Amino acid sequence: MNLQAKVLTVSDGVVGGTRQDRSGAALVARLAEAGYEVVAHEVVADGADSVADALRRLTAGFAGLVVTTGGTGFGPRDLTPEGTAAVLDRPAPGLAEAMRLANPDKGRLSRAAAGTVGTALVLNTPGSTAGAVETLEAVLDVLPHALELLAGAPTVHP
């Protein structure tokens, strides 16, 4: 199976040119290292509507992984989980919980969501570079199987 991924950076600062997109770049690099073809990397401003609109566009007709970075905390503009929830067909709480457990201290502050939109799997990661990569790595091993199931590929259960 050809693994494809898209990365969405959610940050007012990156959109405004006052911050570099380090976490998005780190996710692109880690996904490529894991064998994914990263076919898109976009940046949007914080906010539920901007995230929902971007996710609708990125998941339309896409069979693959969409990873967001940023907007999962308690700041007033941290609304990535709300934007994600607005478009999810089915939540994947086990993935979100496993991602939170990657960092027992700061992970408890994450409001990140995970779930499916059609044949795409969406994961929210934190905006910090280390946090984004470590939460992705917490679930990276099971993602190919999840994507096969979403694509309707035949699977064998021993």
Q: Where are the domains of the chain?
A: 4-150
Mean pLDDT within 132-158: 91
158 CB-near residues (< 8 Å, 6+ apart): none
Which token pair is 53? 């609109």
What DSSP state is assigned to residue 45? -
Q: Are the C-beta atoms of 74 and 110 separated by less than 8 Å?
A: no
Tell whether domain 4-150 is in CATH 3.30.365.10.
no
**pLDDT digit string, tens, across residues 51-90:** 999 999 999 999 999 999 999 999 999 999 999 999 999 9
125-143 pLDDT, tens digit per residue, is 999 999 999 999 999 999 9
pLDDT per position as a tens digit, 22-52: 999 999 999 999 999 999 999 999 999 999 9
- Taking the model in full, what pTM does it have? 0.96
Pick the range with the lowest mean pLDDT from 88-92, 104-108, 118-122, 127-131: 104-108
Residue 149 has pLDDT above 70, yes or no: yes
